[in-house]
Amino acid sequence: MRVRIKQLDLPPGYTPAQLCKAVAKKLRCPPTALGPVQTVRRSIDARDHSPRMVVVAEVNLAGKLRNGLRNVEKAKVLPGRTRPVFEDFSGPRPLVVGAGPAGLFAAFALAEVGRRPLLIERGEATAPRAQRVASFWSDGVLDGESNVLYGEGGAGLFSDGKLTSRSKDRPRVRRFLQILVKCGASPDILVDAEPHIGSDVLEELVPALRNRIVELGGEVRFGARLDRLEIENGELRGAVISGEEIRTDCCVLATGHSARDVYEMLAEQGVALEPKGFAVGVRLEIPQTRIDESQWGGSFPTLGKASFRLTRREEEQARSCYTFCMCPGGLVIPCASSDGLMTTNGMSLSKRDKPSGNAAFLVPVFPSDFPTIGNPALAGVEFQKTSEAAAFEAGGSDYSLPAQRLVDFLEGDSVSELPIERSCQRAVPAQLRGLLPDFVENTLRSAVPNMLRGLRGVQLDEALLYASETRSSSPVRVVRNENGESSVRGLYPCGEGAGYAGGIVSSGVDGLRLAEAIICENA
């Protein structure tokens, strides 16, 4: 009999022998009655600054299960998904636009069943893209087609590589993680409550996934830009890719939230769009040792680096505020995809061994906040551009990030020299007040000090702000029906850029979901 045991309490860095002993104690049986113990979930409980591991495990038990055992149950087997295989598929190949998580996983799922997708990406493959991004960070030389936001792996390639998700679609989340493991990721991501890969490892996994798509019959083209769609009587008939017309009746549009020219093209071609809320703010950096101390009471090498999530409720003169994309032991990075527009993000490598941690502190923005000039569906994009242009100018108009000590930002008068020990060396001292709308700035000034008080021991004069964080999610939603199709039959908007995801995992899961819808439509 296979059983699942929950709420096992173990020390950080526990051994297999300790796990087996804890399981045997829960089941009230000798260890010899157990088969190999498998960890299926583990998380950190750091209450009272005494970190412990909370583990869920499964094991084959010889004999009957005792009655009255707490947190013990028969293990459940999730049913597998059956997917038809098109062994002799000869119809038009499905087109997948964008090689971020949504596009890569949609293309993989389509290739896996023999649909031979064509995956196109306007940017470069991972290796040359990484070199180009390194040049941008060191010299401020921007390539408008291949950069921190465009290219294989999408914007998530240069991020923390967090694989947490609020998705309740557990079977697809599990499949997403299993695919990554087959491409070389650590099996730990299958069991950790907050799995993490790191940008350096993502640079190895993404090409492995692309190679797998090709091995399964797909094709991948880089430097291939979507110029326009060919639509007849409300149905997709093809697309023009870098001047070449390609016939297809199926397109997964996974272009990411920074492909603003795609939104404009869709609007011109009559594809239904609508504005959606998003959030903007700043990225805040503090010493990682302070974070470890506040969360865990000290440093625990077997646990890695501590993270945090902070929120602040709406107040009379301030909106709600929350942290986003916290990067323990990470870097703050400049990001741009268009001349004269600047945003920021956070990134961690797999070891998370940099001296500082950072997180975005964001304030919600609603469609009612957007100006009404032009196409209402694209008003949020124009809202973002205003703040990004201001940040570019404040940083010296050379893609350096404007930065300011938190205490100076709160006082509003002075701009002190920046600390030497900061993660982004292409940052310059600047007055951040006035770079964001008043309601955002007022909320940050009110909320951030109160939020940081939730991290015991963190000093306000140690915090450094970078401006501005504007692209946490898309300000546009490409409307789709319950089958995943847009107002144009055969066009499937997908992932974060389409307004249906918010991170690496949810984007990849959305890609899997839409691929399955396409497969079932043609089964």
Report the CATH number at residue 35: 3.30.70.2700
CA angle 423, 428, 434 (to 5 degrees): 115
**By three-state DSSP, how is residue 273 classified?**
strand
Write out the residue range of the structural domain in which residue 436 sits.
278-469
Burial class (CB in 10 A: 0-12, 13-18, 19+), 41: middle
Question: What average pLDDT does the segment 28-45 reach?
Answer: 92
Residue 81 covered by a domain: no
Domains of the chain: total: 3
Residue 83 covered by a domain: no
Q: Do 95 and 238 meet the contact criterion of CB atoms below 8 Å apart? A: no
Residue 423 and residue 296 share a domain: yes
Residue 117 and residue 63 share a domain: no
> In the chain, pLDDT over 70 holds for what percent of residues?
97
Residue 84 covered by a domain: no
Residue 85 covered by a domain: no
pTM: 0.94
Question: Amino acid identity of 257?
Answer: H
Residue 440 and residue 362 share a domain: yes
Question: What average pLDDT does the segment 63-85 reach?
Answer: 78
- By mean pLDDT, which of 112-116, 189-193, 390-394, 518-522 is the weakest? 518-522
Residue 217 covered by a domain: yes
Tens of pLDDT, residue by residue over 167-187, are 888 899 999 999 999 999 999
Residue 12 and residue 43 share a domain: yes
Q: For residue 119, which phi and psi values (nearest 5 degrees)?
A: -105, 120
Residue 506 and residue 447 share a domain: no
Question: Of 431, 447, 469, which residue is a domain's last?
Answer: 469
Residue 431 and residue 290 share a domain: yes
Does the pLDDT value for residue 428 go beyond 90?
Answer: yes
Residue 125 and residue 166 share a domain: yes
Residue 201 and residue 215 share a domain: yes
Kindly provide the residue ranges of all beta strands, DSSP E only, lying in 313-436, ordered along the sequence. Answer: 321-327, 331-335, 343-347, 356-365, 401-405, 427-429
Residue 152 covered by a domain: yes
Residue 108 covered by a domain: yes
Residue 389 and residue 240 share a domain: no
Residue 213 and residue 106 share a domain: yes
Task: List 235's β-bridge partners, or say none.
Answer: 232, 489
Does the pLDDT value for residue 77 go beyond 90?
Answer: no
Nearest CA to 462 out of 310, 280, 294 is that of: 294
Dig out the tokens for 13 from the structure.
């860095």
Residue 87 covered by a domain: no
Residue 45 and residue 67 share a domain: yes
Residue 302 and residue 423 share a domain: yes
Q: How confident is the model at residue 120 (pLDDT cuts 50, 70, 90)?
A: very high
Question: Of 74, 105, 132, which residue is a domain's last?
Answer: 74
